[in-house]
Amino acid sequence: MNFPWKQRKPLARVINPEINPDGPDDGGRLIVLTAPLTEAIDHAGYFIQMAMASLPIWMEGVINRKYPKWRDVEHNEDGSARYMPAGVRLVEKSLSREYRHDDVVACFPDDLHKFVGPRTRVVAVSTHNPLGVTFAAGVYTSIFGSSKMPINSHYSRQLFATIKASPFRKNFKVIVGGSGGWQIIQTDTYEELSVDCVVEGRSESTDTLELFRRAIQGEQLPRRVEVKHPLDSEGILFPDTRTTFGVVEMTTGCGRRCKFCVPDLNPQIDLPKDKIMEAVRANVRNGNKQISLATEDMFIWGQVHTDTPFYFPNREALVELYSEIVNTPGVEQHVLSHSTIAPAVVDPLLIKQLSDLLLPKSPIHFPYLSSHPEKKALAPLIGLETGSVRMAKQIMSSKGVPFSIEDWPSVALEGLRVLNENNWFPAMTLIVGNPGETDEDVMDTIDLIYEMERRGLFAFLIPSIFTPLHDTRMEKETGVTQTRQLTPLQWQLMMKCWKMNLRPGQYSWWGPMAWRVGSIGMWLYKLRGLNGPNFTWPLLMFSGAISEKNLQRMGKIYRGKPLKVKTRRELIASLKPKDLQYLRADNGDLPVDYVPPVRARAMTG
Ligand code: B12
Ligand code: SF4
């Protein structure tokens, strides 16, 4: 039998006889920037990178078969990378304030030998998720058999091993930055990965430049440096070359203050449209056909620090921004990144207008779900996290503002209804195993998921095990740490989510059969030992081998009870006048006796 994972390359790069042991002819670049191959690739949309973050390395063959060309990257004439993650591009841009163009290069890991030489003083690595210890990533590799080595982590380690093995290693410092740098700090893998310093924060900071100066002078660097985030948009730079997936920043921070969230710790800033558009055009000039605006919540853009609270989207501003982007000559594809769900309840007309604009350029197709003539869909990433109001109050009390967190299940269902009606089928994350989560909390979430099913709503549900992320307000808390600790209900929630995700793919006669046989085979082969006895019945439920009704009758699963859900009109009726004034009448559903403030003033004046 052919086991593709047994044939993979060893971690350190195989010695290539064509590589000159004396380094490149020009002595190499002073500063060389890079990122793991699996974080730099630009193929097949976001999904491929997300899959690589979640699947263990032994399943690499699945990706290879589906995307045989995923390793084919594009180069500039000098061998540097044609595209790199936005983080790398901003480090490059930040350094350009102090160093000559020829001193700095950004290259793919396999090309390091072309640029690292006796002259090199810094190799800087930008990484999103090097060790795979973040939420959602760890849990699936652990379900499939190894909690330590997702595909992305394997390639990240391979990159660090290549740098460590460089004959010039003693001449240069290795500085790591990016949203995944904390994983190296947390796991204390400096020696193993040969990292001198991890920078937490943005490259624009003068402290970052000072660090590079010290590295170039050969000074000892601190292990960890925390640098300040700019407080306004003036301090944020924009890429003027091509970024992976055409990522251009749209906002920083969020404002909803969820306790487990990292990006919310940054100041809430929306970036100027002219700068965003310049970066979009720069991407297109450099051969990119796709654009994605990076944000925690696209709906705050245009409403940050205005007289209106940020959670009432600025419809005109958003429509104008997205319209300019998709109408930029050369932009063939556009994908959404992150958003929240309450804005869909606040302003359904905004969702409709954005759909009209964005669907034609969306590369995502959901043939069984979309009502678009070409079956196109939009799929932003949205946090659902829990269906338990008790839990939601503890970890994300402002997630649904302007609506009360007491109404969270209704906000989520009503928002999803509006989104689905407009061909938005979001990927929604759920956190399983929050600190203090009880069986009742999990049952509340299961109720919500079954209610989605009952109402025919669709979201791609991504349950993950609670991970206390560094620096967050939950940093010191522990929830579930291994899949064996999951309770039968927590397993059931996870497997029900996946069962529902597979719904649209199950229309062929062989689909359900393949899953049934495949999942049971996998359980017999590997999973029953790994994940413990609590996993068994939920897996049988997932496989469909025994009907949910029968499993419930046998007392093996909980099938959820119907939820009493508020309509949009009822949700709006519960708003206080201070918030009600910002709702737009063209969406309807305002209380019949409601008098908008302007008219009220006219009447009283
Ligand atoms: C776009 C995006 C994606 C895209 C594209 C990623 C890419 N390769 O380009 C996709 C969808 C593929 C993706 C996937 C994932 N993502 Co993502 N993603 C984002 C998002 C929205 C924007 C990232 C970005 O480009 N920002 C703009 C750039 C400029 O910011 P930056 O990279 O942080 O760079 C700045 C600093 O970090 C620093 N810096 C960066 N590199 C370096 C290097 C050095 C040497 C120095 C000094 C400084 C430095 O300077 C830059 C500014 O000047 C962020 C949220 C956010 N707002 O950041 C989440 C985010 C980074 N992703 C996250 C997660 C969890 C994931 C996944 C694990 C999700 C999953 N389960 O599938 C995967 C992992 C992918 C992988 N390959 O392993 C988390 C990170 C959590 C963590 N690491 O602790 C974030 C913060 C989202 C969140 N709300 O939690 N992601
Ligand atoms: S809504 Fe999302 S981005 Fe905003 S604070 Fe909560 S988790 Fe963070």
pLDDT in tens, 374-419: 999 999 999 999 999 999 999 999 999 999 999 999 999 999 999 9
Is 369 near ligand 1, meaning CB less than 6 Å away?
Answer: no
pLDDT in tens, 139-157: 555 555 544 588 999 999 9
Which ligand is closest to the CA of 44, given by its number?
1
Please report the beta strands in 261-355, taking only residues with DSSP state E, as ranges in sequence order.
269-270, 290-294, 333-335, 338-339
Is 384 near ligand 2, meaning CB less than 6 Å away?
Answer: no
Please report the beta strands in 227-326, taking only residues with DSSP state E, as ranges in sequence order.
247-249, 251-252, 269-270, 290-294
Is 227 near ligand 1, meaning CB less than 6 Å away?
Answer: no
Closest CA to 122 of 15, 210, 16: 210
Pocket mutation for ligand 2, best pick of 297, 341, 472 (most atoms within 8 Å of C-beta):
297
Whole-Å CA distances, 153 to 58, 178, 333? 12, 15, 28
The stretch 337-344 carries a mean pLDDT of: 97
Pocket mutation for ligand 1, best pick of 93, 154, 179 (most atoms within 8 Å of C-beta):
179
Question: In the numeric block, which tokens belong to residue 497?
Answer: 């989510």
The stretch 304-315 carries a mean pLDDT of: 97
| Residue 56 pLDDT grade (very low, low, confident, very high; cuts 50, 70, 90) | confident
105 contacts 89 by C-beta, under 8 angstroms: no
| Residue 498 pLDDT grade (very low, low, confident, very high; cuts 50, 70, 90) | confident
Is 136 near ligand 1, meaning CB less than 6 Å away?
Answer: yes
Pocket mutation for ligand 2, best pick of 298, 310, 399 (most atoms within 8 Å of C-beta):
399
Closest CA to 540 of 507, 502, 496, 510: 496
Which ligand is closest to the CA of 198, given by its number?
1
Is 340 near ligand 2, meaning CB less than 6 Å away?
Answer: yes
Is 264 near ligand 2, meaning CB less than 6 Å away?
Answer: yes
Residue percentage of the chain with pLDDT more than 70: 85
* Beta bridge partners of residue 136, listed in sequence order: none
Nearest protein Cα to ligand 2, atom 8: 261
CA of 382 to the centre of ligand 2 (A): 9
Q: Please determine, for residue 521, whether its predicted confidence score (pLDDT) is greater than 90.
A: no
410 contacts 265 by C-beta, under 8 angstroms: no
Burial of 580 (0-12, 13-18, 19+ CB in 10 A): middle
So what's the pLDDT on residue 146? 46
Is 520 near ligand 1, meaning CB less than 6 Å away?
Answer: no
Please give the order of strands across the beta sheet that includes 122-126.
104-106, 31-34, 122-126, 173-177, 197-200, 224-226
* Beta bridge partners of residue 291, listed in sequence order: 334
So what's the pLDDT on residue 59? 81
So what's the pLDDT on residue 168? 96
Which ligand is closest to the CA of 252, given by its number?
1
Is 177 near ligand 1, meaning CB less than 6 Å away?
Answer: yes
Which ligand is closest to the CA of 183, given by its number?
1
Q: Please determine, for residue 241, whether its predicted confidence score (pLDDT) is greater than 60.
A: yes
291 contacts 363 by C-beta, under 8 angstroms: no
CA of 367 to the centre of ligand 2 (A): 30
CA of 253 to the centre of ligand 2 (A): 8
Is 296 near ligand 2, meaning CB less than 6 Å away?
Answer: yes
CA of 399 to the centre of ligand 2 (A): 7
* Beta bridge partners of residue 34, listed in sequence order: 125
Closest CA to 260 of 474, 477, 478: 474
The stretch 30-37 carries a mean pLDDT of: 98
pLDDT in tens, 437-485: 999 999 999 999 999 999 999 999 888 877 666 666 666 666 666 666 7
The stretch 77-102 carries a mean pLDDT of: 97
The stretch 315-337 carries a mean pLDDT of: 97
Pocket mutation for ligand 1, best pick of 121, 126, 128 (most atoms within 8 Å of C-beta):
128
Q: What is the distance between the alpha carbons of residues 32 and 25, in angstroms, rounded to a whole number? A: 16
Q: Please determine, for residue 496, whether its predicted confidence score (pLDDT) is greater than 60.
A: yes
CA of 218 to the centre of ligand 1 (A): 29
Pocket mutation for ligand 2, best pick of 396, 401, 472 (most atoms within 8 Å of C-beta):
396
Question: In the numeric block, which tokens belong to residue 589?
Answer: 């559903």
| Residue 433 pLDDT grade (very low, low, confident, very high; cuts 50, 70, 90) | confident
CA of 479 to the centre of ligand 1 (A): 24
pLDDT in tens, 553-595: 888 889 889 999 999 999 999 999 899 999 999 999 998 888 7
Q: Please determine, for residue 71, whether its predicted confidence score (pLDDT) is greater than 70.
A: yes
Is 244 near ligand 1, meaning CB less than 6 Å away?
Answer: yes
Average pLDDT, the chain: 87
So what's the pLDDT on residue 143? 53
Which of ligand 2's atoms lies nearest the C-alpha of 296?
3
Q: 3-state DSSP call for residue 65?
A: helix
Pocket mutation for ligand 2, best pick of 179, 256, 434 (most atoms within 8 Å of C-beta):
256
Is 337 near ligand 1, meaning CB less than 6 Å away?
Answer: yes
Is 116 near ligand 1, meaning CB less than 6 Å away?
Answer: no
Q: Please determine, for residue 534, whether its predicted confidence score (pLDDT) is greater than 60.
A: yes
